[in-house]
Amino acid sequence: MASKAAYKRLSKEYVTMQREPPPFVWAAPDEKDILTWNYIIRGPPDSPFAGGEYHGVLLFPSEYPFKPPGIKMHTPSGRFQPDKKICFSMSDFHPGSWNPAWSVATILTGLVSFMLSDEMTTGSVTTSDADKRTYAARSHTWNVEQRKFKEAFPEYCTLIPRDLPNMGEKERGKPDPPAAMLPAPSTPVARLPPAPTLALSSSTVPAPKNAGVIVRPRKIVRPNNIPATIAAGPGDASGGWCAGLRQVVWEKWRWGVLIALAVIVSRITSSA
């Protein structure tokens, strides 16, 4: 069972593998066990393995990345013994030389380099270049007949071998292959959920000022003893209250004059 550190590290490396796969290799963890990774190596051009397709596994310990993995190659290649652990500097045969900074991509890139060399070690075999080319020509047919390969890479079980996402075009100074030739990722691409829609209601969002509102004239109720100019309301504030004051003064002055005249006339009459 993978430790928390191993699970986190291998999950991150799988994302990196999908985004930036190294030349001539592809790998993915087993659906049931993240410590077991299946890989495919395509034989580089200008080598006895050109055109070959080689399936194998990386067996990570639960202590990864602090301990190295075991490495096997299932497909007969003329370089390694099928289903036997391979001894080289990045495998569990050499825990003392292991560097925790190395990743799945680093391991498989190193395995390709070691495959192209003639160094003999545990798990390797000696064959001629002609034998290696013969194994390369038969490799895909051999793979598609194997249950392990069909379960690990069903998308590569085609009549003609499919190119891996990175076939080393950039390294050879050639343009990248068309996007249509690249295999689809083995895991679905995460999609962002649709943005939530906000239900607007009149109770939460105020209507624009005077929008859809019918303004009706306000009926003014005026007491009988208040002049109309004063009761006109604040709309006449510019001069209404002054005019009303003048009207009140005029009314009082007029009635005062009339009363004074009436008193004078009454006195004249009484004296006569």
Residues designated catalytic:
87
What is the C-alpha separation between 150 and 143, in angstroms, rounded? Answer: 8
Per the DSSP assignment, residues forming a β-bridge with 41 are 25, 54
DSSP-derived 3-state class of residue 164: coil
Neighbours of 58 (CB within 10 A): 24
What is the C-alpha separation between 242 and 57, in angstroms, rounded? Answer: 102
Q: What is the DSSP string of 40-69?
A: EEEPPTTSTTTT-EEEEEEE--TTTTSSPP
Reported as type and span, the H/E element at residue 116 is: helix 104-116
